[in-house]
Amino acid sequence: MLTKDHASWGYAASTGLGFTHETIVDAHFEACAPYYQTALDEVGIRAGWHVLDAGCGSGAFLPWLADLVGPEGRVSAIDLAAENTELAAERMQRCSSRCAFDARQGDLLDLPYPDDTFDAVWCANTTQYLDDEELARALRELCRVVRPSGVVAVKDLDASLITVRPADPFQFTDFFRHAARTPGYARQLLRTRDLHRRLDEAGLLSVRQRTLLIEHHAPLSPAALRFYTLACARIARQATDQGFGGDWEPFLDPDNAAHPLRDRLGYISEGNTVAVGIVPPRAR
């Protein structure tokens, strides 16, 4: 799971995976909450269900999941970073939900749950950390722990839709394509719109997929400005360290007054892909 390039992306949790620390993850959730809500609405989670948040991070989705399943339902959460499960539990203690809840530390590649435990699983912003072989294994595990006719839903970032203006509109996507020439994080960020095929290969039925364009126009909200200037700075440092051409200087300092996202015509976009499938009947 841990590719050798992850440390260079920054904002790592105890797992060493880049962009997993709660400071950056929660900032992104705050900046993009309406889009995240739309993505979750695609799944069709019902009242009374037992739902697993697989790769829950600090638990930003958990109150929404709790609202969907209601007081008769149950929400479980699991994350590779032990500190994230603690943060998730604290978040649920603060929210008004009355549904049952449990959280534990664990690995998506070897989930610590019996077969057919859940009615649905929600896996958001996590498959980007898995190589192709690990992704296939994780999907098998998600299918295993969900009952037949239950739902497996995977959401992740599509980096091919990242663009910043006023700047070279292809600067970021060209860098990701350059970095993706070797296995690692960048390649996995460009794989997201293949999720429907991956779910199909895992044996899921009635697979459907939707990619949502996330857009922020100037003046960006304080949350969006904070997240995207920090994220752009890390990518700009990556590009500079790798000697990749382009005008990265305006992006290196998040507080730069000349930052493109502080321009009166500032704009940034990214993609949010959701793939959903149904677990088939078990073979006898």
| CATH number where 146 lies | 3.40.50.150
- Residue 65 inside a domain? The answer is yes
- Residue 252 inside a domain? The answer is no
Q: Is the pLDDT of residue 20 over 60?
A: no
For residues 261 and 235, what is the distance between their CA atoms, to the nearest angstrom? 15
- Residue 167 inside a domain? The answer is no
- As for how many domains the chain has, the answer is 1
Which neighbouring-strand residues pair with 278? 151, 205
- 250-270 burial, b at 16+ Cβ within 10 Å, e below that, comes to bbeebeeeebbbbbeebbbbb
- 193-229 burial, b at 16+ Cβ within 10 Å, e below that, comes to bebbebbeebebeebebebbebebebebeebbbbbbb
Which neighbouring-strand residues pair with 217? 267
pLDDT of residue 121: 98
- Residue 169 inside a domain? The answer is no
The count of other CB atoms within 10 Å of the CB of residue 148 is 12
Report the relative pairing of strands 267-278 and 146-165 from DSSP bridges: antiparallel
Q: Is the pLDDT of residue 19 over 60?
A: no
* Model pTM score: 0.91
Q: Does residue 169 have a cis bond before it (omega within 30 degrees)?
A: no
Q: Assess contact for 87 and 20: CB atoms under 8 A.
A: no
* SS3 at position 168: coil
pLDDT of residue 283: 63
- Residue 171 inside a domain? The answer is no
- Residue 124 inside a domain? The answer is yes
Instruction: Band the pLDDT of 16: cuts 50, 70, 90.
Output: low
Per residue in 100-157, pLDDT (tens digit) is 999 999 999 999 999 999 999 999 999 999 999 999 999 999 999 999 999 999 999 9
- 81-109 burial, b at 16+ Cβ within 10 Å, e below that, comes to beebbebbbebbeeeebebebebeebbbe
Q: Is the pLDDT of residue 2 over 50?
A: no
For residues 138 and 109, what is the distance between their CA atoms, to the nearest angstrom? 5
Element (H, E) at 32: helix 22-41
* Domain extent for 69: 6-159+185-213+272-278
Determine the residue type at 36.
Y
Instruction: Band the pLDDT of 21: cuts 50, 70, 90.
Output: low
Rg of the chain (C-alpha set): 19
Which is more confident, 53 or 29? 53
For residues 122 and 65, what is the distance between their CA atoms, to the nearest angstrom? 9
DSSP string covering 188-243: HHT-GGGHHHHHHHTT-EEEEEEEEEEEEESSPPHHHHHHHHHHHHHHHHHHHHTT
- Residue 238 inside a domain? The answer is no
